[in-house]
């Protein structure tokens, strides 16, 4: 699993003109990509890392402050543009594999006590955010 994690001061996801997920104030916007070898155990590991990652103001984590997370699936995190001009998506898991694993990340976060908003898997989404810092990290499980 791969995740791009951004500290934000608010973020939302819009699908077909409808807000489907939104966080206000300090929190994390997390773009999650799934590859073929990923498992529910890796999803749980990612959730624990996101919950405890100290990248909020004053080196605090979401678990410290109760800050919300916006989790959005993004298969393009496994795009490969090293050759040619068009990325390939061979490393990205197909939807029937990826969707349950992204859902597992969300479920595990909620089990830890997190307030989690989401995008809509497979939809054309517009993600808006205010990057705070900017502070962005890449996680790989």
Task: Kindly list the catalytic residues.
Answer: 74-76
Q: Provide the phi-psi class of 10: left if phi over 0, else alpha when psi is between -120 and 50, else beta.
A: left
Best CA proximity match to 30, nearest among 132, 116, 99, 108: 116
Q: Are 17 and 124 within 8 A, CB to CB?
A: no
Tell me the C-alpha distance between 58 and 52, whole Å.
Answer: 14
Best CA proximity match to 116, nearest among 4, 29, 15, 17: 29
């Amino acid at each position: 699993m791969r995740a791009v994690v951004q500290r934000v001061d608010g973020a939302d996801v819009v699908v077909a003109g409808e807000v489907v997920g939104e966080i206000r104030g300090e929190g994390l916007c997390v773009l999650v990509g799934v590859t073929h070898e990923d498992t529910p155990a890796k999803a749980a590991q990612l959730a624990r890392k996101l919950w405890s990652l100290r990248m909020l103001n004053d080196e605090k984590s979401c678990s410290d402050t109760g800050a919300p997370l916006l989790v959005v699936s993004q298969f393009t995190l496994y795009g490969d543009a090293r050759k040619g001009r068009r990325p390939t998506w061979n490393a990205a898991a197909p939807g029937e594999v990826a969707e349950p694993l992204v859902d597992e990340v969300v479920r595990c976060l909620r089990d830890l006590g997190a307030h989690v908003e989401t995008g809509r898997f497979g939809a054309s989404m517009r993600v808006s955010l205010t990057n705070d810092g900017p502070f962005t990290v890449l996680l790989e499980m």
